[in-house]
Amino acid sequence: MTDTADTANVIVRPPIAWVLAVLAGLALNWLMPLPFVPAVVAAGWLGALVFAVAVALVASAITTMTRAGSNVPTNLPSTTVVETGPYRFTRNPIYLGMVLGLIGLAIAFNDLWLLMTLVPFALVIRYGVITREEAYLERKFGNVYRRYRARVRRWL
């Protein structure tokens, strides 16, 4: 990561990491199914509900960031520290939504493999994306970002 780059220089674009996690979980489930939801639970409906909450959170975060005039893709420069909408409660609502989305799909498909892909996905996002984004935002916005970071938690 170069200090002169006007991007976070993340190791992977988060949507790509998410799709890879989903595909890995589904492929492993196809090879060796590992159900985990008790039969008495309406897994499809519960999973769909969790997934819908995830989509709503991601959509709200993207809309908020776009309205603030900043870029959403990690390969483009950030133009401002967004502190409204879901960013009032978590510094990473898009990544939180992606985690919830994986959980929702795991429940809906009753696929323990999908739930297990959450671990490497979360580690990649935390250390390969968020750590780099935080360093970039602190370098670019200084005290404005430090004050925001002190007020709002990384996840919840």
Average pLDDT over residues 9-35: 98
85 membership: H or E segment, kind and range = none
Hey, what's the torsion of the CAs at 10, 13, 16, 21, to 10 degrees? 40
- Residue 124 CB coordination number (10 Å): 19
Q: Is 27 left (phi over 0), alpha (psi -120 to 50) or beta?
A: alpha
> pLDDT digit string (tens) for 121-150?
999 999 999 999 999 999 999 999 999 999
Q: Which pLDDT score is estimated for 4?
A: 58
Average pLDDT over residues 38-66: 97
3-state DSSP assignment of residue 40: coil
Average pLDDT over residues 84-92: 98
Q: Which residues contact 81 (CB under 8 A, 6 or more apart)?
A: 137, 141, 144, 145, 148
- Share the mean pLDDT of the chain: 96
Q: Which pLDDT score is estimated for 2?
A: 46
> pLDDT digit string (tens) for 5-15?
799 999 999 99
Q: What is the percent of the chain where pLDDT is above 90?
A: 95
Instruction: Please answer whether residues 34 and 111 qualify as being in contact, where contact means their C-beta atoms are separated by less than 8 angstroms.
Output: yes
